[in-house]
Amino acid sequence: MDYEKYKRVLILTGEVSGDMHGGYLLKHLKQLSPELKAFAIGSDHLKDAGAVIIKDITKKSTIGFLETLKNIPMLYLLKNKLIKILKQQHIDLLLCIDFQGFNTILAKKAKEMGIHVVYYIPPQEWVWGSEKGVKKITTITDKIVTIFQEEYDAYKQYTKNVRFFGHPLTQIITDANVQVEQQKNTIAVFPGSRKQEITYCFPEMIKIMKELHNTDNKKKFIINLPNTHYLATIQQKTQGMESYVTIRTGKTYETLAESEFALVTSGTITLECLLMGTPHIVFYKFNPVSFLIINHYLRKKFKYDYYSLTNILSGKEIVPEYMQNFDTQSICKKIIEILSDDKKVLLLKENLQNIKIKLSSKNEENLLVEISNYILS
């Protein structure tokens, strides 16, 4: 097979999770095509994999209406810059990773320029239930690689050029080969990677940590951040809690393996908890004005009764989830209730294992090789 059909790839991702997936994928693409030259909108993972980073916008990543408006001027200028790069650098493969709004604009433009377009981790139209959205993605791409069976089922109705190989996190976690023993009374805390999560979600996490520690002073917490972007802020906000709070960066799987429970914001971390078999609760909080708009949209478009991927994939609520207006004391009581009942913990882990089977591949060790092979073929 001619793996050197594509010489120059532009990879587009605007979030920390997308950068992680992009980095792992690029390493495997380069194993098949060592001369492949990669440019990227990304961060540390893509840089470590050998990409030339044009701009890192992961710190600008956001969810919400008002928050997104602030980024429009920057994204507009970046779009124009990337269109020039597509021409000047003779890009022959555009690889879009998640980051829906921005990537669909660039994908459409690249397609018009005759550039091969692959969408890896496409927009979650299977969650939002938009037939129009699914069709749009199929018209601006040459290939689509999905990471959920449900996602594949939605896209395959409108294109033959879509594949589902399994979820890449299954291989990424296996390759990490974490050898850490679980510590009783240790709870993992994942504040997220976005500024608004640090602003609105993390203060609630602090309340929960303090309440749980006051109830049982044996409880210890490990806060894990994906990078150092907000490390100083987290350190400042947890002053006086050093006796029972440890802060780490970039140690997701070690932290989950060491913890008997996890407190997480919604996102990729919920899948990582699921695949690591770590019981968890999920909550999210927005800017109040943004939430009014988002909540209206959710009621109108969202097709599931739950918002966390753990529960969506399960088809029922197996982990507690909370959105916007919640009482942290109630969350603490729920955590204590779960951890004090071995049968509940065992059932929760069994449910997580059942979902993991749905996401796994028969060829798990070579899943990213299969994906790379499809993209370059």
Q: Would the pTM count as exceeding 0.95?
A: no
The proportion of the chain whose per-residue pLDDT surpasses 90, expressed as a percent, equals 68
pLDDT in tens, 310-332: 998 888 999 999 988 888 999 99
If one compares 74 and 63, the residue with the highest pLDDT of the two is 74
Which region holds residue 366: left if phi is over 0, alpha if psi is between -120 and 50, else beta? alpha
Going from the C-alpha of 159 to that of each of 42, 208, 272, the distances in angstroms are 28, 46, 30
What burial letters (b/e) apply to 4-20, b meaning 16+ CB within 10 Å? eebebbbbbbbbbbbbb
How many CB atoms are closer than 10 A to CB 236? 9
| Predicted confidence (pLDDT) per residue in 68-115, tens digit | 667 788 888 999 999 999 999 999 999 999 988 899 999 999 999 999
Q: Strand 52-55 to strand 37-41: parallel, antiparallel, or no bridges (unpaired)?
A: parallel
What number does CATH give the domain 8-166+361-376? 3.40.50.2000
pLDDT of residue 92: 95
CATH topology of domain 177-359: Rossmann fold (3.40.50)
Q: What is the pLDDT of residue 221?
A: 98
Q: Do domains 8-166+361-376 and 177-359 have the same CATH topology?
A: yes
Please write the tens of the pLDDT for every residue from 146-204. Answer: 999 989 999 999 999 999 999 999 999 999 989 888 999 999 999 988 888 898 899 99
Region of residue 123 (left: phi > 0; alpha: psi -120 to 50; beta: else): beta
> In this predicted structure, what is the pLDDT of residue 363?
73
Domain range list for the chain: 8-166+361-376, 177-359
